Amino acid sequence: MTSMASLFSFTSPAVKRLLGWKQGDEEEKWAEKAVDALVKKLKKKKGAMEELEKALSSPGQPSKCVTIPRSLDGRLQVSHRKGLPHVIYCRVWRWPDLQSHHELKPLDICEFPFGSKQKEVCINPYHY
């Protein structure tokens, strides 16, 4: 990257790392905004970023829940689009063509699945 290009790149190293596991190539900017919003939430929780990176880097290996607070209506807004948080991040990191939460079923190991209506929601894409 040229020094001029790096002056205009505001993407944090954490967001860049997480985008490295992104699936599909559509809507790059939207995915970047979704991941950026997630990084801001996860930085407030000790070990959450590391746990997400561990899950993304070793699919199929057991991993812990990575949670964010549930909003009042359960949805998350990313750049004028509202969606369910677990669907958004499963779309970014596993299934770019995912259409709806009806296509997802939480694994038994997930302690905070979206459907459980707890105060926290697991967004680990390998828990669905």
pLDDT in tens, 36-49: 899 999 999 999 99
Q: What is the pLDDT of residues 75-106, one digit of tens each?
A: 999 888 899 999 999 999 999 999 999 999 99
Instruction: Judge contact between 73 and 80, C-beta under 8 A.
Output: no
In whole angstroms, give the CA distance from residue 29 to residue 38.
14
Q: What is the average per-residue pLDDT within 104-117?
A: 96
- Neighbouring residues of 27: CB distance < 8 A, sequence distance ≥ 6: none
Q: Looking at the domain that runs over 13-127, which CATH code has it been given?
A: 3.90.520.10
Tell me whether residue 28 is exposed, middle or buried, using C-beta atoms within 10 angstroms of its C-beta: 0 to 12, 13 to 18, 19 or more.
Answer: exposed
pLDDT of residue 91: 92
Spatial contact of 114 and 86, defined as CB atoms under 8 Å apart: yes
